[in-house]
């Protein structure tokens, strides 16, 4: 009995140590790799890929979009070349408009990493992929007017995706404490007796 309690207690100690290390890693701030900005006007009923980058789970984007009108903003987890090729195969197109993009996304919902509608406001979003992926920022203008857009993208790098590492630590530490508890109680009773 004593061996099992000691074995389980050591396992709990290891899990608590790993959880605390993960928690520490999640607190290390990310490093800014670069900033890009753009000002453009998206034509009516038009789709415009504006930014493309291959990202890993240790890299992320902070996107700030300001639009003077209604605009759909997507991060698609495919390259713009694949997007246009997919649309050409899917719809036999030479250019892309809003309804074509919507049809393509209905047929391929797994490529949407993030979507938001911007309507005369500033939207900021942090995007960190779960695997190595192409990330393409796409603007889609469903209105009948040109929509002026200000875009700022900050590319950052970290040891690990902070929120995901923190979540893992939040599960590992309590499990380690539960496994450690019988050993603590056993040791405490031995000292009292």
Residue-wise pLDDT for 23-67, tens only, equals: 888 888 777 788 888 888 888 888 888 888 888 888 888 889 998
Strand 46-55 and strand 122-127: pairing? unpaired
Q: Which of 29, 64, 80, 62 is nearest to 128 (CA)?
A: 62
Which residue has tokens 């797994």?
Answer: 110
Reported as type and span, the H/E element at residue 142 is: none
Residue-wise pLDDT for 117-137, tens only, equals: 888 888 888 888 888 888 888
**CATH code of residue 107:** 2.60.120.680
Mean pLDDT (whole number) for 104-113: 86
pLDDT at 70 over 90: no
- Looking at the DSSP bridge assignments, the partners of residue 112 are 76
Task: Clarify whether residues 16 and 88 are in a common domain.
Answer: no
Host domain of residue 180: 2-27+164-192
Task: Clarify whether residues 61 and 77 are in a common domain.
Answer: yes
Task: Clarify whether residues 109 and 18 are in a common domain.
Answer: no
Task: Clarify whether residues 152 and 119 are in a common domain.
Answer: yes
Q: How far apart are alpha carbons 169 and 143 in whole angstroms?
A: 45
Among 8-12, 31-35, 74-78, 177-181, the least confident range: 31-35
Whether the model pTM is above 0.75? no
């Amino acid at each position: 009995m004593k061996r099992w309690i000691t074995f389980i207690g050591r396992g709990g100690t290891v899990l608590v140590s790993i959880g605390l290390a993960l928690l520490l890693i999640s607190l290390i701030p990310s490093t800014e790799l670069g900033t890009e900005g753009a000002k453009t006007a998206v034509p009516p009923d038009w789709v415009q890929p504006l930014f493309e980058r291959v990202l890993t789970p240790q890299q992320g984007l902070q996107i700030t979009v300001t639009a003077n009108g209604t605009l759909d903003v997507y991060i698609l987890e495919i390259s713009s070349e694949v997007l246009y090729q997919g649309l050409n195969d899917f719809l036999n197109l030479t250019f892309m408009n809003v309804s074509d993009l919507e049809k393509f996304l209905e047929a391929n919902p797994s490529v949407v990493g993030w979507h938001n509608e911007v309507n005369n406001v500033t939207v900021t979003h942090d995007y960190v992929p779960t695997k190595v992926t192409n990330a393409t920022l796409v603007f889609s203008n469903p209105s009948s007017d040109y929509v002026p857009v200000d875009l700022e993208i900050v590319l950052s790098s970290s040891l690990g995706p902070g929120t995901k590492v923190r979540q893992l630590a939040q599960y590992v530490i309590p499990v380690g404490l539960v496994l450690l508890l019988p050993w603590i109680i056993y040791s405490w009773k031995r000292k009292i007796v």
